[in-house]
Amino acid sequence: NSKLRHVEKDVLIPQIMRDRAKELCSDKVQAFTKCCQESGLLMVVKCRQENTALKDCLVGYYSDPSFYEECKAEYLKQREEYRATGIKKKRQKFTPNV
């Protein structure tokens, strides 16, 4: 049964999308974090470029219908395994095929 409840569509699948997008945009996450650490209180001004690059990367994934379907399939697989075993698996870090 692949019917999704409201909480699955609006909370659980988007959480997988956020986690995976952060992993896929990790270079931009690191650049923004480094800039913030080096800039202190001036980060709002000094890190605009890194912030924009990070947002663009993340939004690109969030708005990609095929990425949503990929994350939905991952969620359904996890749900199926949980229902079969009763054991909740920790989500493994996603590593892109390079």
Q: Which of 75, 61, 86 is nearest to 8 (CA)?
A: 75
- Write the DSSP string, 25-52: THHHHHHHHHHHHHHGGGHHHHTHHHHH
With respect to residue 63, please indicate whether it lies within any of the assigned structural domains. Answer: yes
Asked if the structure places residue 35 within a domain, the reply is yes
pLDDT for the residue 14: 96
Radius of gyration of the chain (CA): 17
CA angle in degrees (0–180, nearest 5) for 51-24-49: 15
Determine, yes or no, domain membership for 1.
no
Domain housing 30: 6-77
Of 19, 14, 15, the C-alpha closest to 95 is 19
In the chain, how many domains are there?
A: 1
Is 89 among the domain residues?
Answer: no
pLDDT tens-digit profile of 10-19? Answer: 999 999 999 9
Q: Is residue 53 part of a domain?
A: yes
The pTM assigned to this predicted structure is 0.77
Structure-model confidence comparison of residues 84 and 29, the more confident one: 29
